Structure 1
Amino acid sequence: MAERISGYAARFNSETTIAGEFREMLAPGCFARTLRDHPDVVMLLDHDSGRVVGRTTAGTLGLREDSTGLWFDLDPDPTTPSGQEAIGTVRRGDVRGCSFGFRVRSEEWQDGGNRLPLRIIKDVDLAEITLTGFPAYADTSASFRVASNNGAAERVKAKAEAAMKARGLPV
């Protein structure tokens, strides 16, 4: 059984207010180029580069852009302090959101009229995603689950139990 953390590090077409100065929204497709051309992205705890819990090039972090946003699947290492913290805080529900570190490559601004101006992010260089208790976008998500490794562990256990029964051993 593998402990996994997954969710949406970002959602498209969802507004948030940045520093009380402007509204911001992510356009669908804004991560596509960077995921294709620069696939080395890390997952951190609270944007702290000293607390890496996953990396795409190591195979411990999966990222994909879908119609909802930027989805992630993390395989945290329970033998490291940062991995233990990620697992513990997300499992308990203390951390339920995400953020991301990026550089904007393309954006569009719209006059807000009576509201704050709106920045629509069209393309980014994504450096990292992070688990955080204080996400800028409130509709991000992170949830804990135990994955069955496609039933491999259950099949091994069933095979061992069947062999024990065949030998007349208690199961």
Structure 2
Amino acid sequence: MTTKPEAERRSLTLPVERRAAADGGKVTVGGYAAVFGEAADIGGYFREIISRGAFSASLKGGDVRAYFEHDRGRVLGRSSAKTLRVDEDSKGLAVEIDLPDTTDGRDARELIERGDISGMSIGMIVRKQEWDETTDPPTRTITDAELIEVSIVSEPAYEGTTIAMRSLEAARKERRQQNFNAAARRVGMKVSIDLRSRAMSKA
């Protein structure tokens, strides 16, 4: 039975900005939900880097939603409805949300204008990653991830550390198995050479 990968959340403290407004019209806010190539400390357990292009495959056909504080009941936008636009540029994952004329939309607008909103966050499922344990703490590089959601958040936080630590342990287990297999092959080769040497000496 295949276990479905679990989602992880990562937040960024770059400011969320009001991009456009018209009297009684659309209000757009935007910012970055992830920055490529920069190492982030994840609870002191490991550093994490998101590679440029990590979300490119996901963005081609995915239907991403924008939430307020990661609450699925507080929808602010959706990519399939074109009220949410998410794109990768040279810096990172750029987000624009056309805020709805709802309680949450008006609250988000007011909090952003007041400066109370301090960042954006993403929910993602990591599909491909690399671990480097020659650094202290270890460094995780995410090369492919499925973007599930983006959120406007008042208090950015890193969630999913436990999931990532399980991923690190799985990588360590795989590496130990590879080292064991390599050692077994070396022993097998040595035994084979010794047997051939003995056979030749008896001939």
1:58 aligns with 2:81: yes
- Cα distance, 1:134 vs structure 2: 2.6
In the other structure, the counterpart of 1:124 is 145
Could you list the structure 1 runs, at least 4 aligned residues long, displaced by more than 3 angstroms after superposition: none
CA distance in 2, matches of 1:85, 1:20: 34
**Cα distance 1:112–1:95, how it changes in 2: closer, same or farther (>3 A)?**
farther
Structure 2: unaligned runs, 5 residues or longer? 1-21, 159-203
More strand by share: 1
Rg bigger for which structure? Answer: 2
In the other structure, the counterpart of 1:101 is 123
Query: TM-score when scaled to structure 1?
Result: 0.74
Secondary structure of residue in 1 paired with 2:117: coil
CA distance in 1, matches of 2:112, 2:118: 6
1:108 counterpart letter in structure 2: E
In the other structure, the counterpart of 2:5 is none
**Cα distance 1:110–1:52, how it changes in 2: closer, same or farther (>3 A)?**
same
Q: Tell me which of 45, 49, 61 is aligned to 2:68.
A: 45
In the other structure, the counterpart of 2:132 is 110
- Cα distance, 1:136 vs structure 2: 4.4
Aligned residues: 134
- Cα distance, 1:96 vs structure 2: 2.8
Secondary structure of residue in 1 paired with 2:49: strand
1:87 aligns with 2:104: no
Q: What whole-Å deviation, never above 9, does each CA across 1:70-114 have from its counterpart, x for those lacking one?
A: 101110012x1111121111111111311100100000111253x
Secondary structure of residue in 1 paired with 2:73: strand
CA distance in 1, matches of 2:157, 2:91: 17
Cα RMSD over matched residues?
1.4
- Cα distance, 1:18 vs structure 2: 1.5
Instruction: Tell me if structure 2 keeps the 8 A contact 1:99–1:129.
Output: yes
CA distance in 1, matches of 2:73, 2:134: 39
1:6 aligns with 2:27: no
1:91 counterpart letter in structure 2: E
Structure 1: unaligned runs, 5 residues or longer? 138-171
- Cα distance, 1:30 vs structure 2: 0.4
- Cα distance, 1:117 vs structure 2: 0.6
Identity of aligned residues (%): 40
Q: What whole-Å deviation, never above 9, does each CA across 1:40-64 have from its counterpart, x for those lacking one?
A: 1001111111111010011111111
Task: Work out which structure has the larger RCO, using CA pairs closer than 8 Å and 6 or more positions apart in sequence.
Answer: 1
CA distance in 2, matches of 1:94, 1:129: 18
Instruction: Tell me if structure 2 keeps the 8 A contact 1:42–1:52.
Output: yes
Q: Tell me which of 88, 97, 100 is aligned to 1:74.
A: 97
